[in-house]
Amino acid sequence: MSDFIKSVRFKILLAILSVIVGFMIMAVYTGGAAPLFTQAVSLVTVPVQRLSAGISRGAADFFSQFTDARALRAENELLREERNGFLRALADYERLRHENEQFRRIVGVLEERRDLVIEPAPVIAREPGSRFYSFTIGKGRIHGIKRLDPVMTAEGLVGYVIESGPNYARVATILDVAVNVGAYDSTTSAGINVYDSSTRDIGVISGTIELAAQGLCQINYLPRDSTIAVGDIIMTGGGSMFPKDILVGTVERVAPNAHGTSVAAVIRPAADIPVVKDVFVITRFEGQGER
């Protein structure tokens, strides 16, 4: 017996009994064993619960970043579409405003020139690499547009049709070296505009590579004693290909030709040919096609 009392097993059993007795005594003072057990268990479970809650919050925060990112992308896409819609509406407004301005101005021309029949057309393409700013319009034969029809804007002459398809046409401009337009100086030495080619200096409008790069052309073969001067207004002289008295542009500088037998003048076209967006094709005019 004394050996058992001295053994390790007895000591362990005694320690367990001491703990049990201690719990029983504490239960008496705390109102029962259940609260005491709960408190004992809480010593283990509360830290675990705290750790679990922390992990849950961390996971929620982590995944909420992706949710927020998706929502932000969707919102940005919506804003982008709204912005693009606004820009399209603004572009349409500017186009319509420009077209209305062109129509308003061309009405004034048509009131003075009732022999002109015109067809409005948008510029839909520029020919790549063209030195003379030739372009394609979005109307053609089904709209009454044919080869050699003159082309203008409300500001002045642009060129003529060199090819007419069913629903498109290609236009060569007066900046082109291959284009020749009879024209005259409508300004007298007194600075008065006289739209009468029979009494004014007559020449031929054509282009050069150097001038076309500046958006300019020239009038050649003016008489050597011509009184043409800077600021003079140049008009078409009429004929079978171009109607008479369509504004071409104004004189920027004057110089005799290399042989000194005639005078040439550099012209700035009234129409802004390199950037023109809408034009009017003259499908019929007095004297068209006559020889």
Q: Confirm or reject CATH 2.40.10.350 for domain 117-284, answering yes or no.
A: yes
Rg (CA), the chain: 46
d(CA 238, CA 77): 57
Predicted pLDDT of residue 190: 47
Per-residue pLDDT for the chain (291 aa), expressed as one digit of tens each? 566 566 666 667 666 667 665 656 665 555 554 555 555 555 555 565 666 666 666 666 666 666 667 777 887 888 777 777 666 665 555 555 555 666 566 666 666 778 889 999 999 999 888 899 999 999 999 999 999 999 999 899 999 999 999 999 999 999 999 999 999 998 765 455 555 555 578 999 999 999 999 999 999 999 888 889 999 999 999 888 999 999 999 999 998 766 667 889 999 999 999 999 999 999 999 888 764
Find, among 266, 287, 251, 243, the residue nearest to 151 by Cα: 243
Amino acid (one-letter) located at 197: S
